Amino acid sequence: MKYKRENHKKPLKEKSRFLTIIVSFLICSSMVLGVSMEAKALSQKGENTNSEFLELIMNSVIAPFKANTKRGDSNMLGYLSLNPLKVIKREVAYVEDKAIKEEFKQEQVVEEEKKAEEIVLNPFSLSENSISKQEQAKVEVVGNPQDNSKKRILIYHSHTTEAYDADEPRKMDLGQTVAAVGDELAKEFEKQGFTVIHDKTIHDLDYNSSYAKSRETMSKYFEKFKDFDFVVDLHRDDGPSKANVTTKINNEDAARLIIVTTTSDPRYKAHMANINAIFQVAKREYPTLFREKNLHTNYSGTRYYNQDLSDNALLLEVGATSNKLQEAKNSMKYVARVVAEVINNRKK
């Protein structure tokens, strides 16, 4: 868009003032000239011209102004109190100064107009397709966040390098592995108000000793905090097809889950009570969050998957190598919602 201003014109008042001064100057000049000629005539007669000359000036130049001046006319009295020539000189200088300023302002306006003409505003249009109308899925907070803050959750990974990539199932970049999913789960638990520790120690450099290494990490936290209200060892599965491990919740693709435990676990009954409570809430809120075969109990249990250290321990597998990382992350808000209700419904 281009902007253009109309040319500024000098105020009429300034022009009238200037013309008045010029006319006054001409009148005064003619009067002074007349007085000078009479004074010269008196001088030729040999008479004393000094006092008569001054009186003649007062009578010829000043008296007419006095006669036409009304009481309280401060502008006219200002002229009477000054030498007419000085007044004219001052006023002419004033008008010239104003004229210069006006001319300068006009130049500035022209420059601004030139700059304005150089500015081109790029037009844009916003179509319906430009606006994303899909709202981010939100999950309610369960219980009182202040009460939840007193409850502690530990997230860790026995197989920290498990990635969501069939061609490269293990990665050292933890931003591409289950550790990134653990970050998302920690964030969602914190939204529920819980106090969360997420340990991302790599335990599976030697895959066969991974549970022994993660047990050392767990033991360290248990020595310091005694126990937690929820402890989850977060994994991903390997092998199932994409269709079997993916669902749609709130119009977004999400990885489906399974829980792993073992009947040989000394705390098996306590764990099954928690697991059944989780399945019950999930079936009501998000029926497809867990896979059809959502529980594996037929494992021999490598060191009981360390679940023997707490009644509240759980091994959770989120999706598989056929899932995208984001699909696994999408599931975490629903997991946090379900677990939050189970924790808050426990008998105290």
Q: What is the pLDDT of residue 303?
A: 82
What is the per-residue DSSP string for 168-210? Answer: S-B-S-GGGBHHHHHHHHHHHHHHTT-EEEE------SSGGGH
Please report, for residues 41, 56, 114, 215, 216, the alpha-carbon distance to residue 220 in angstroms, rounded to integers and kept in the order given.
127, 118, 74, 9, 6
pLDDT of residue 345 exceeding 50, the answer is yes
- On whether the CB atoms of residues 231 and 221 are closer than 8 A, the answer is no
pLDDT of residue 271 exceeding 70, the answer is yes
One-letter amino acid of 236: R
Q: What is the pLDDT of residue 141?
A: 79
Q: Which two tokens stand for residue 286?
A: 């998000």
Q: What is the pLDDT of residue 323?
A: 98
Assigned CATH class of 145-344: alpha beta
Which of the four pLDDT bands, split at 50, 70 and 90, describes residue 11? low
Please report, for residues 238, 249, 291, 327, the alpha-carbon distance to residue 322 in angstroms, rounded to integers and kept in the order given.
8, 18, 15, 10
pLDDT of residue 194 exceeding 80, the answer is yes
Residue by residue, what is the 3-state secondary structure of 83-103?
Answer: CHHHHHHHHHHHHHHHHHHHH
pLDDT of residue 80 exceeding 60, the answer is no
Tens of pLDDT, residue by residue over 121-147, are 444 444 444 344 444 567 777 777 788
Mean pLDDT over residues 293-303, rounded?
81
Q: What is the pLDDT of residue 220?
A: 97
Please report, for residues 16, 174, 249, 345, the alpha-carbon distance to residue 330 in angstroms, rounded to integers and kept in the order given.
81, 17, 9, 25
Coil vs helix vs strand at 232: strand
Q: Which two tokens stand for residue 228?
A: 């937690």
Q: What is the pLDDT of residue 120?
A: 43
Q: How far apart are CA 10 and CA 7, in angstroms?
A: 10
Mean pLDDT over residues 4-31, rounded?
54
Higher-confidence position of 87 and 226: 226
Q: What are the structural domain ranges in the chain? A: 12-118, 145-344
Average pLDDT, the chain: 77
**Chain position carrying tokens 């008998």:** 347
Higher-confidence position of 101 and 187: 187
Residue-wise burial string across 127-157, b where 16 or more C-beta atoms lie within 10 A, e elsewhere: eeeeeeeeeeeebeebbeeeebeebbbbbbb
Q: Is 93 exposed, middle or buried (0-12, 13-18, 19+ CB in 10 A)?
A: exposed
Cα 347 to the center of its chain, rounded Å: 44
Mean pLDDT over residues 331-335, rounded?
98
Mean pLDDT over residues 182-208, rounded?
97
Q: What is the pLDDT of residue 59?
A: 53
Q: What is the largest CA-CA distance in the chain?
A: 150
Q: How far apart are CA 316 and CA 113, in angstroms?
A: 69
Q: Give the list of residues 6+ apart from residue 163 with CB closer than 8 angstroms, or none.
A: 169, 170, 171, 176, 177, 178, 236, 321, 325
Q: How far apart are CA 329 and CA 181, in angstroms?
A: 5
- List the single range of 71-85, 222-236, 320-334 with lowest mean pLDDT: 71-85
Q: What is the pLDDT of residue 3?
A: 39
- On whether the CB atoms of residues 253 and 330 are closer than 8 A, the answer is yes
